[in-house]
Each structure stands twice: as structure tokens, then as C-alpha cells.
Amino acid sequence: LHLSLAQMDLCIEAFGTSKQKRALNSRRMNAVGSDILSTAVTKAAENIIDAKGITALIQDVAQDDVQNISIFLPPCHEDADKPEDVYKFEDILSPAEYEALRVPAEVFINITPEEIIKKTEEKSYCSFVLEELKILPPDEKRRDHKARCLWFLDILIKFSFLKVIKKKHPMGPECPHIISKKLMKNFTQLTYNNGSVQNLISASMKAKITAYVIALALHINNFQVDLTVLQNDMKLQESRIMDIAKAMRLKVSKTKGPPELAPDKNHKLATLSLPLPVQKAPGGLRKRKKMK
């Protein structure tokens, strides 16, 4: 499909990267008297977007994402003295969001070994969460903290599987309103399709969710995380999660998998330790046409 300049502007407005949108806004500021958003052009662009389909547009946007992974990472405090301050917990969950997790996380606090077996058979939660539930600390305060973190991590992973979000509360009534709002605001992009504005989880948003899942998993598990378990839970290609882990300045090594999850298979273990590895230029990331 060949788009006119104005039609391309509309596509950039809906699907472009931050850099493209800044360039577009700058050009519009200088385009005195240019009515680039005329009704006719708007209708033409709508037809093109509808005809091309949402899936193809997601793939179009994805081409830019690999080289821009760094802009989707949690804030990195390079001058931190301790691993826990590199990706601060407060940058993942605000105090208000953390407090809102108290009630839904109660399902984990008193979970029994028999219930964990049942939940594993039913695949109610991701493998990472199920493995960590087996080793909840006995201390009441620490147990509550870990339960809240695991509940949010599981919701993040489940949210990452959605494509176009049509419900106001896509994760169900048990998900607190403040958490639903956080998911929609921080981990979706607004897009136009079939005559309406929708929230989309594009390839870049899936990368952002993955980065936040890794950061939270590091806090849960003493700043070491089995990337292979998370990769399988999130249905990612290994190269994709490795790109994100390296962009987060993690050291990656080989390890054996958990006893219940193919222990003989080599897993990738990511460690957050100081000093952080030297940041590599974004251009060094591999560019792939197909991403999950």
C-alpha cells in the first residue's frame, strides 16, 4: 500500500515510535495553514488502517522496536550501591498499588502444598509463580510481601497475552481498579481500528512488560532469575528475552532447570550484580522480522 504524506502522518500518530511522533509534531508546528487532518484524508487513512488490519500494523511497528528496547526498560539507577537500588521496587509498584495488592494476594498467603499441585495441574498460574509459592517464607511480613509480588507478576504475564483490549477491566473483577488502570496506562498503546480507539499490546509493549516482569522477578528471587522459565511462561523466543536481559545490564550464565521443569535442560540464569556491565550501543541488537 502506498500512503500519502498526510495518511502516513495519521499512521505515525496511531502507531509510530516516540521519536517518529516527536518529528511529526515538530513538522506540524512549522506547517502554517496546512490542513493535514482534513475530513477526506482522515477517511482515507481510516480505510487504509481498516483494510490493512491490526495484525499487519503491529508487525510494522515491531520493526523499530528491537533497536529501541532501552526506552521500554524500568528506570535504571546506574550509580546504585546495592542491587536492590538499580531497578527500584517503587519504580515497579507504587506504595498505593502495592497496598491494593494486599487483598487479592491473600489467595497465596495460606496456600497449601495440595492446592499448589492442583493449581499446577490446572495451569492456573505461570510456572515461575508456582515454583516460588513452594518456598514462601514462614515470616508473616515477608510472606505477605512475596505473595503480593507474585500475584502482580502473574497478572503482568497474563496481561501480555492480550492483543487488542476491549474491556475496561480485562483482568477480571478480582484485579484492583488501580492495578487495571496501571496496566492500561503503562503497558498498552492507543490505536485506531474499525472506527474506534482501542488499547493495543504491540511488540514494544510486550517487551516493556517482559522487562518489568524480569525486574520484579529479580526482587522476588534475590536478584537472580531463571530466564528460561520466564521465557516459557511468556511464550517468547530465547533471543528476545536475552536481548531484553542484556539491555537491562544483567549477567547471563548457564544453569540447570528446576527439578519439576526439565532439570536436565540448560537454562539461562540472569544475575543483577554490581558493577553493572558496560552498556552496549542499541545498534548492536539484532533486528528480526518476526517476533512473538
Question: Mean pLDDT of successive 10-residue segments in the chain (292 residues)?
Answer: 60 73 66 46 54 52 53 89 94 96 93 92 92 93 96 96 81 90 90 74 91 97 94 93 93 77 74 84 44 44
pLDDT score recorded for residue 218: 97
Strands 164-165 and 189-193: unpaired
pLDDT, residue 156, reads: 96
**How distant, in Å, are the alpha carbons of 64, 108, 185 from that of 48?**
21, 48, 27
Report the C-alpha gap between 167 and 163 in whole angstroms.
12
Rounded to whole angstroms, how far apart are CA atoms 85 and 207? 22
| 256 beta partners | 266
| DSSP state for residue 287 in the 8-state scheme | P
- Which ranges in the chain belong to alpha helices (H)? 5-15, 18-30, 39-52, 54-65, 89-92, 95-100, 106-109, 113-122, 127-133, 140-160, 177-186, 203-220, 227-234, 238-247
pLDDT of residue 144: 96
Rounded (5°) CA angle 112-173-187:
100
pTM: 0.73
Quote the pLDDT of residue 100.
96
What is the structure's pLDDT at 142? 95
CB 97 within 8 A of CB 175: no
In this structure, are residues 38 and 7 in contact, taking their beta carbons and an 8 Å threshold? no
